[in-house]
Amino acid sequence: MNFLSLIWLIFLPVIAAIIIMFPQFPNHQVIVRRSAKWFASFHFIYALLFLAFFDTSLFGMSYEKELTFFGMSWLKSLGISAKFAVDGIALLLVVLTTFIVLITLFISKIHIRSKHKLYYAMVFLLESSVLGILCAKDMFLFFVFWELSLIPIYFLVSQWGNSEARRAAIKFTITSFVANMFLFFGMLILYYYNFAVSNVLTANIESLNMDEKIYPLWFQVTVFINFLIGFMLRIPFVPFHNWYPDIQSKAAAPVNILMSGIILNTGLYGLIRFNMQVFPEIFKLFAPVLMIWGLVNIIYAGALSICQQGIKKMVSYANISAAGFIMVGLGCLNQTGFNGAIFTAIACAIVYSALFVVISSIQFRTKTTYITALGGLGQVMPKCMYLALIICFCAIGLPFLMMFTPKLMVLTGAMLSNLDQQLMVKIAAITGLCAIAVSAGYIMYFFYKVFCSVLLDQWKKIKDLSPQETSVLSVLCLVIIYFGIYPMSIIQIYQSVSSIILDVLQV
């Protein structure tokens, strides 16, 4: 399979962005949009080919490739090289990323009314940087893409959002830079401590593994906490979550989908790659704390979700709340919980992106997102209502829909977990079970307020979904139903990898 090169996969969007930004490229919106869609479709199929040829029984990384410049590695004298490789988890997220970008481009038509060239170039740049984060095999390469992703986010939020978007974007960018500095600091001291211990100057993530080397405990804890702060901001987690609803309520609708679909996953991926794989001992130490933290996240963000006035903020808080399940799953330290956590992340990305697609159609027609100004839209938009119903049921976690299996796995994992503080973990699992009821509360409250109550006069003339929106939402619903019925088709892809990770962590 020589034609499957990760370097092409990562840098094709950059090339596409450069071609679109070229002065000779026609500045006509239809041409720009269509060529972007064609490219994204091609890219998605290319990513699917990686999945098709992927050997699921393989325990390590595959598709390894190094980027060289005329035969020279990048920063070889510092022990840093531009190596890319994927394992099962990363590959799933890669395919998910290309899929979400494709979905986003299909609904961009009605929301993006100006600066088409810049918009599509920035979406592709964001896609490329996220793919780079997922495939990077080197710590500093990871960080390069991690910082690079902030630049397109800033432009996407500030240029096409509402009047307050600029302020929200700058706030997010600055807080991210501060958190990134913690990350960077952790990486730097890890890099040099590793050099001091093993006398090899390297930043390769696999060779930084802590289990074979002797590091002082305080050092591990320091680096672990630095990493944790950097990644928690992206997931987002409760003390650092403020930026997420803020940005989501102000950005344009396609950007909402990108944020919930691809940006949040990068935080989770970093957590697994670094905190879990590089510091298994410390992760074991912190696991109960993370679990409780996840529960606090579920309940606190869920409660906030019900209090919101805008539907975008409501769904964003719901998203944060659902991300709490990921942490509970990771904290179980067993196969069931871990697999459930990864599945939760993927399901969250698809379900909440779908919810943002629904919101985007509503926002486009009514020009408002305030919950008091909406109501009874189900009477004029029946297609939208039925599709949204499936998505909402999925978000709650009803059986045969995508979110059911992961939540079940996470809670089973928590019950089966044999951590030191057994009683506490069991209590946590039971609390999590109750938390599902909370999630049913806010999701159904959202659905009821938007689609079911009394129809206001000014909305009587709005039209139902266009064929394009219907097809996008139907595809998403089909995905939700398919993976609800055959969850193993996702789980088997990363099962071997997760068993490797868990072998190290197993108590």
Site for other proteins contains 38 (CB under 8 A): no
Site for other proteins contains 218 (CB under 8 A): no
Total residues binding other proteins (CB under 8 A): 33
Q: How far apart are CA 61 and CA 332, in angstroms?
A: 25
For residue 150, give the DSSP letter. H
Q: How far apart are CA 319 and CA 307, in angstroms?
A: 15
Of residues 163 through 182, those in contact with other proteins by CB under 8 A are 166, 170, 173-174, 177-178, 181
Minimum CB separation from other proteins for residue 268, in Å? 21
| H-helix or E-strand spanning residue 86 | strand 83-86
Tokens 């909406």 appear where? 374
Q: CA of 97: how far to CAs of 40, 209, 263, 306, 479, in Å?
A: 11, 27, 9, 29, 15
Site for other proteins contains 221 (CB under 8 A): no
**Among 77, 212, 423, 463, interactor with other proteins by CB under 8 A:** 77
Residues 96 and 265: beta-carbon distance below 8 Å: yes
Q: How far apart are CA 179 and CA 139, in angstroms?
A: 16
Q: How far apart are CA 480 and CA 476, in angstroms?
A: 6
Contacts of 220 (CB under 8 A, 6+ apart): 210, 279, 281, 282
For residue 60, give the DSSP letter. S
Residue 138 in tokens: 């080197």
Residues 218 and 240: beta-carbon distance below 8 Å: no
Grouping H, G, I as helix, E, B as strand and the rest as coil, residue 85 is strand
Minimum CB separation from other proteins for residue 202, in Å? 12
Q: How far apart are CA 28 and CA 20, in angstroms?
A: 11
Minimum CB separation from other proteins for residue 391, in Å? 35
Nearer to other proteins (CB atom), residue 23 or residue 467: 23
- Comparing CA positions, the residue from 262, 414, 253 lying closest to residue 346 is 262
Each residue 281-300 as x (binds other proteins by CB under 8 A) or -, in order, gives: --------------------
Minimum CB separation from other proteins for residue 180, in Å? 8
- Comparing CA positions, the residue from 332, 303, 335, 296 lying closest to residue 317 is 303
Site for other proteins contains 188 (CB under 8 A): yes
Of residues 139 through 158, those in contact with other proteins by CB under 8 A are 140, 144-145, 147-148, 151, 155, 158
Stretch that binds other proteins, among 188-196, 325-333, 447-455, 492-500 (CB under 8 A): 188-196
**Among 25, 42, 44, 185, interactor with other proteins by CB under 8 A:** 185
Site for other proteins contains 198 (CB under 8 A): no
Minimum CB separation from other proteins for residue 147, in Å? 4
Residues 141 and 129: beta-carbon distance below 8 Å: no
Nearer to other proteins (CB atom), residue 124 or residue 155: 155
Stretch that binds other proteins, among 73-81, 320-328, 350-358, 412-420 (CB under 8 A): 73-81
Minimum CB separation from other proteins for residue 21, in Å? 8
**Among 44, 184, 215, 445, interactor with other proteins by CB under 8 A:** 184
User: Which residues would be at the binding site for other proteins (CB under 8 A)?
Assistant: 21, 23, 69, 72-78, 140, 144-145, 147-148, 151, 155, 158-159, 166, 170, 173-174, 177-178, 181, 184-185, 188-189, 191-192, 195
